[in-house]
């Protein structure tokens, strides 16, 4: 029997993206640059997170025209973002045939209580998380891929590091706990017991976990890979920098050879100015995208 | 026996786990030096454009071609099939051109159309193989010496040419080890 949209098929695409870099793009030309640089997928957007921050107002799903033009320009998978809880935007993206939907805190949330029931879709979803409990809640809703949130549009890796370290520390805690403590741990984390048990048995998250939110240099990418990321999302970091082409290639190479300092030294050389960074401590609470999602 | 899994990008750990569960030793391969130390090579699923470009950038493509010409068994899954093909329909991208087959990329559609199915693979016996196809390619023509091992409808999805083998689906994503065992037999022959 032929079955489409099974969890194995959804999760499987994320597994094929491992060790790779997914880049935010806003035009077909940028998508082609990303593909040529070795990106494993692109995220089609109207604005990169740094510009969403600057523009203010309500950030929504991109115009289907923009997404379709990008889908036509490249052969690698194309992802696109919907607002948290906005299942109608997700239905539109599924109808367009995008390969992965990002239910993303970068856009303005549409529902402050409930995320999308992602099991209802054939297209897989990736969701952001700051800790293990949040990741497992998203997986319970049907997410087939997780990315730690970081703080998007800042070019500052500090929050990405915080979230990846938190995730890994909490996974280790679950793995090392005796089984009779798991119900209490699940309650504390606000995570389904069955998924906590799965983490204990597998020693890792049940799905692929990429790092996102503040990665701007090849060294940032290597840092996140060494901290345990399965791959890298770069949002504003590529096309807000002085030389996107060279930087994109360098981030790809750094992600592959994250544990080889000689390669890292070579690829980090002469890339021009990175994107301007933001000190995360100067952000007001309502400006912190990572706090969106529940 | 040491089996290398090309570790530039993609489902590397899944293949390493599968080979390990078969009782052989599996190592990730990122450099030309590491390529010289393996008795068989698996090119995993991933993005064929990404893996192809990185392979050329690091000079791995030349060494893989030389070793394969000397008889090194190579097994490619999904992106690996595309990279092994002599020709890729409608695309100019770096690849190895080792197997006399023509590959068609994303031939079953986008992710929405990705699927799993029970596949009849006579070389494995009567029990079907649960095959997972993810934005999968297929082979639309084969040259002399290529043995077709399985089809979905009329599309070729699994083929072998002497010591080279390619599948459009992902045996590394299921618990059934028969295809990995088949490749290990080719490596010890």
Q: What is the pLDDT of residue B144?
A: 95
| Residue contact A257–B47, C-beta within 8 A | no
A159: which residues sit within 8 A by CB, 6+ positions away?
A149, A150, A151, A213, A214, A280, A290
Q: What is the pLDDT of residue A168?
A: 98
What is the distance in angstroms between the Cα of A258 and the nearest Cα belonging to chain B?
Answer: 11
The CATH number covering residue B146 comes to 3.40.50.880
The end-to-end CA distance of chain B, in Å, is 11
B149's tokens: 């091992």
- pLDDT, tens digit, 9 for 90 and up, residues A24-67: 999 999 999 999 999 999 999 988 988 998 888 899 999 999 99
* Residue B86 phi, psi (nearest 5): -65, -40
- pLDDT, tens digit, 9 for 90 and up, residues A114-123: 999 999 999 9
Nearest CA in chain B to A232: B9
Of A16, A41, A100, the CB nearest to B10: A16
- Positive or negative, the CA dihedral A136, A137, A138, A140 is positive
Q: How confident is the model at residue B92 (pLDDT cuts 50, 70, 90)?
A: confident
| Residue contact A1–B78, C-beta within 8 A | no
Domain tally for chain B?
1
A275's tokens: 């994107």
Distances from the Cα of A135 to the Cα of A103, A192, B53, B81, B99, angstroms: 13, 11, 33, 34, 42
* Residue A12 phi, psi (nearest 5): -60, -40
Rg over CA atoms, chain B: 15
SS3 (DSSP) at A187: helix
Q: Tell me, yes or no, if A287 comes closer than 8 A to chain B by beta carbon.
A: no
Active-site residue (options: A11, A18, A65, A81): A81
Looking at beta carbons, which residues of chain A come within 8 Å of B105? 75
Q: At CA B172, angle to CA B11 and CA A139, rounded to 5?
A: 65
Q: What is the pLDDT of residue B189?
A: 83
Q: What is the pLDDT of residue B41?
A: 98
CA distance A186 to A165: 19
Looking at beta carbons, which residues of chain A come within 8 Å of B169? none
Q: Tell me, yes or no, if A175 comes closer than 8 A to chain B by beta carbon.
A: no
Res A18 pLDDT > 90: yes
- Which helix (H) or strand (E) segment holds residue A270: the answer is none
Of A3, A15, A124, the CB nearest to B111: A124
Q: How confident is the model at residue B91 (pLDDT cuts 50, 70, 90)?
A: confident
Q: Containing domain of residue B178, as a range?
A: 2-188
Determine contact, residues B173/B77, Cβ cutoff 8 Å: no
């Amino acid at each position: 029997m032929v079955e489409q949209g099974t969890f194995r098929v959804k999760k499987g695409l994320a597994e094929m993206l491992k060790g790779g870099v997914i880049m935010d793009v806003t035009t077909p030309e940028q998508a082609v640059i990303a593909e040529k640089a070795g990106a494993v997928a692109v995220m089609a957007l109207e604005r990169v997170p740094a510009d969403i921050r600057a523009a203010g107002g309500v950030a929504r799903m991109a115009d289907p025209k923009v997404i379709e033009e990008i889908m036509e320009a490249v052969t690698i998978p194309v992802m696109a973002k919907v607002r948290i809880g906005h299942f109608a935007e997700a239905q539109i993206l599924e109808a367009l045939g995008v390969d992965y939907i990002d239910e993303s805190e970068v856009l303005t949330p549409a529902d402050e209580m409930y995320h999308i029931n992602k099991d209802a879709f054939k297209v897989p979803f990736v969701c952001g998380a700051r800790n293990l409990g949040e990741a497992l809640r998203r997986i319970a809703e049907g997410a087939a891929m997780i990315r730690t949130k970081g703080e998007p549009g800042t070019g500052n890796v500090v929050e990405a590091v915080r979230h990846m370290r938190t995730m890994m520390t909490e996974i280790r805690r679950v793995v090392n706990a005796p089984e009779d403590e798991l119900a209490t741990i699940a309650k504390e984390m606000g995570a389904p017991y069955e998924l906590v048990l799965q983490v204990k048995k597998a020693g890792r998250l049940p799905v692929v976990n990429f790092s996102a939110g503040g990665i701007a240099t090849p060294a940032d990418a290597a840092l996140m890979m060494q901290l345990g990321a399965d791959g890298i999302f770069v949002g504003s970091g590529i096309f807000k920098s002085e030389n996107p082409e060279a930087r994109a290639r360098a981030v790809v190479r750094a992600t592959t050879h994250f544990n080889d300092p000689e390669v890292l030294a070579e690829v980090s050389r002469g890339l021009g100015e990175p994107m301007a960074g933001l000190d995360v401590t100067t952000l007001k609470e309502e400006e912190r995208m990572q706090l969106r999602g529940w | 026996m040491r089996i290398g899994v090309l570790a530039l990008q993609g489902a590397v750990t899944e293949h390493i786990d599968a080979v390990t569960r078969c009782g052989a030793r599996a190592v990730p391969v990122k450099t030309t030096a590491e390529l010289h130390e393996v008795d068989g090579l698996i090119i995993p699923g991933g993005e064929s454009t990404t893996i192809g470009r990185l392979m050329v950038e690091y000079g791995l493509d030349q060494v893989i071609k030389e070793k394969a010409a000397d008889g090194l068994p190579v097994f490619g899954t999904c992106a690996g099939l595309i990279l092994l093909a002599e020709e890729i329909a409608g695309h100019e991208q770096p690849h190895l051109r080792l197997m006399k087959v023509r590959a068609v990329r994303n031939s079953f559609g986008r992710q929405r159309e990705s699927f799993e199915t029970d596949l009849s693979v006579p070389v494995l016996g009567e029990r079907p193989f649960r095959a997972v196809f993810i934005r999968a390619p297929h082979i639309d023509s084969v040259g002399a010496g290529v043995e077709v091992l399985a089809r979905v409808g009329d599309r070729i999805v699994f083929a072998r040419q002497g010591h080279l083998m390619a599948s459009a689906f992902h045996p590394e994503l299921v618990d059934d080890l028969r295809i990995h065992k088949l490749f290990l037999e080719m490596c010890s022959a």
